[in-house]
Each structure stands twice: as C-alpha cells, then as structure tokens.
Amino acid sequence: MEGAALRGVCAIILAAGGATRFGGPKLLHPLPGRPHTPLLLAVVETVRAAAPDTIVVVVGAGAPALIALLADQPVEIVENPDWAEGLSASMRAGLGRVPAAAEAALFVLADQPWVQPATLRALGAAYRAGDAAIVVPTYQGRRGNPVLFDRSAFAALGEIRGDQGGRALLRGGQFRVLETPTTDPAILLDVDAPADLREDRPLGS
C-alpha cells in the first residue's frame, strides 16, 4: 500500500535558487553526518523512497554542477533560465514537464533534506482519501512543505509571479485545502545559512 500512495503523482524538486544567504553552492554541501551526500542528492533519495510515478528536478543557478550530480539518478532535469525571477518561475518550469497522465504534482524544496519519505506518502494517501485540491502537511499546527496540488490547481499555479510559491492558493479560498498532521518537524526546517547545517540543531528550530 505504501508504494501506491503517490501513484499518479509527479514530484517536482525545486532546486534552482541562487542560495545568496548561504554564500556558496548550498545544494552541493554535504549533509551533517553524511559527508558524501550533498543536500540535493539527499532530497532526491527521499523522494525516490516515497515512490511517486515520476520525478522532475528544476535547476537554475549552478546548473552544470547539479546536472552532473544527478547524472545517474532516475529523474528528469529541467533547466530554468528565469530562475532569478524567483520560486514561481521554477514552479512553472516544473509544471511544464508534468506527464499528461499525472493527476497531481508534489512540490518538494531542495533545501529541506530531513523530510521523511513517510511524510510524502502521507500526503499522497490523504489526497487519495479526500477530495481536496491542495494537501499541506502540518506539525503541531504549523503548515510546512512539501505541498501537493491536484491538476485542477495547475493553471492557477502558473499565474503566480515573483519569488513566491503556491501559498497564495492556500489562503485564497478558490481551492479546498486539506491539512495533514504529521509527526515530522522537518517539514518546517530548511537550510538558508551554513549554521542551519550544524549537527546539534534541533529539527523544527
């Protein structure tokens, strides 16, 4: 049953940002405790373990190095030349590669390396069990990422501009939103600066 949770879902990993606050190629930085596993590769491994039908990785800044890193991974890589526009441009680039047969897209942030595969599967299971267009995880009442969008929301996602994702659709009332409680604090944790990768950092802080 676990393997079927994300059937019909395309996972889109957003990995195109410039990482200006990090001060270097953030997604190539090794994960604490895993010196041979860069952040992006850890996220790809997590998504693969959750078993969506397809995986698309959107790259932009530093694309050649990221493409080389993913050379042996079963993912489709999309280069976003407009990555400097912000998150919305990467979302559009990813949506443009969603297979016609896919029912939904799961947007995964490449700088959230600690999210668990079970969390991704839980979003898929909640989507299958309900009739919501958007499924968002929560931890102790706080919304986090990744977020799953039904195909009915794709057109509205494509209209978003600037450095923002699909949050506006969660608040706008146009689509039914389902909150899925999790025990995974990593849905709230991303990597912005080198200090965020210290090994003693509590998840969710």
pTM of the shown model: 0.93
Q: Where are the domains of the chain?
A: 2-196
In order along its 205 residues, the chain shows pLDDT tens digits of 455 889 999 999 999 987 667 767 889 988 888 878 999 999 999 999 999 999 999 999 899 999 999 999 999 999 999 998 889 999 999 999 999 999 999 999 999 999 999 999 999 999 999 899 999 999 999 999 999 999 999 999 999 998 888 888 988 789 999 999 999 999 999 888 878 876 544 444 4
The one-letter amino acid code at 36 reads: H
CB-based contact 57:100 (threshold 8 Å): no
Of residues 107, 114, 102, 103, the one with CA closest to residue 92: 107
CB-based contact 131:176 (threshold 8 Å): yes
- The superfamily in CATH containing domain 2-196 is Spore Coat Polysaccharide Biosynthesis Protein SpsA; Chain A (3.90.550.10)
Task: Identify the bridge partners of residue 79 per DSSP, sorted by sequence position.
Answer: 59
C-alpha angle 60-40-139 in degrees, rounded to nearest 5: 110
